[in-house]
Structure 1
């Protein structure tokens, strides 16, 4: 059984420090990411890490978690951020496997104007590919 408090603490630490290299270490090999902007689920730890690290870059300093709801093996984390002057509100729905690794990560974002500002910025960041860690 997953020690959810430890798994959740590791996620928060990666986000708070901007440790993009640490994202990959938190993911199960068969992790799945569901984006508010992409129809098909993105499967596999490398692809999920690419989406999550791109989001970390795009949402940057404005990103903060405000509340969370925790279940036996999952959590819903409410966040706010800003992209190109558009305020975003959203949730990250995260599920961990028995080893404490993220197996599913679903993002929902509102309002539509914020999502519309986010989508091209994410596309640009994903096109750039993996970047070196922001913090040496």
Structure 2
């Protein structure tokens, strides 16, 4: 069984998007703070998380606290993009094997959401061309 949170922290810290292949369930769902509909499937979830690694995980990124209950966790984070301080949470749920089946990101304030939207769209587009 996968140690979900330990593995998640290692991947997030290193920015290793390839490691997501083993951590995500085939039926994983990603909930973006800016896209209305859930993004369903391992490939699209990986694409969003890989883009987030490239956009959010910079020298300012840090997890501030973690609340765990069974197979769910809420991880509060803080980072900064172009002078905009971003505060958010990752809400993660995993299955009995430890693979992530649901990943929801919430971000505040509005200025931060707009900045994340702009930069994530550019990163997703750049990653599609690779």
Tell me if both proteins adopt one fold, taking TM over 0.5 as the criterion: yes
Partner of 1:47: 44
Partner of 1:109: 107
Pair 1:94 & 2:78 matched: no
Secondary structure in 1 matching 2:48: helix
Secondary structure in 2 matching 1:129: helix
Task: Evaluate the alpha carbon distance shift between residue 47 and residue 105 of structure 1 in structure 2; reply closer, same or farther with a 3 A threshold.
Answer: same
For 1:130 and 1:67, locate their aligned partners in 2 and report how far apart those are by CA, in whole Å: 33
Partner of 1:67: 65
For 2:119 and 2:89, locate their aligned partners in 1 and report how far apart those are by CA, in whole Å: 19
Deviates more, 1:15-24 or 1:116-125: 15-24
Partner of 1:78: 76
Unaligned runs of 5+ in 2: none
Equivalent residues of 2:28, 2:40 under 8 A apart: yes
Task: Evaluate the alpha carbon distance shift between residue 95 and residue 87 of structure 1 in structure 2; reply closer, same or farther with a 3 A threshold.
Answer: same
Unaligned runs of 5+ in 1: none
TM-score, scaled to structure 1: 0.89
For 1:102 and 1:64, locate their aligned partners in 2 and report how far apart those are by CA, in whole Å: 21
Aligned residues: 129
Alignment deviations for residues 85-107 of structure 1 (CA, whole Å, 9 cap, x no partner): 10000000000001110000000
Partner of 2:35: 38
Partner of 1:123: 121
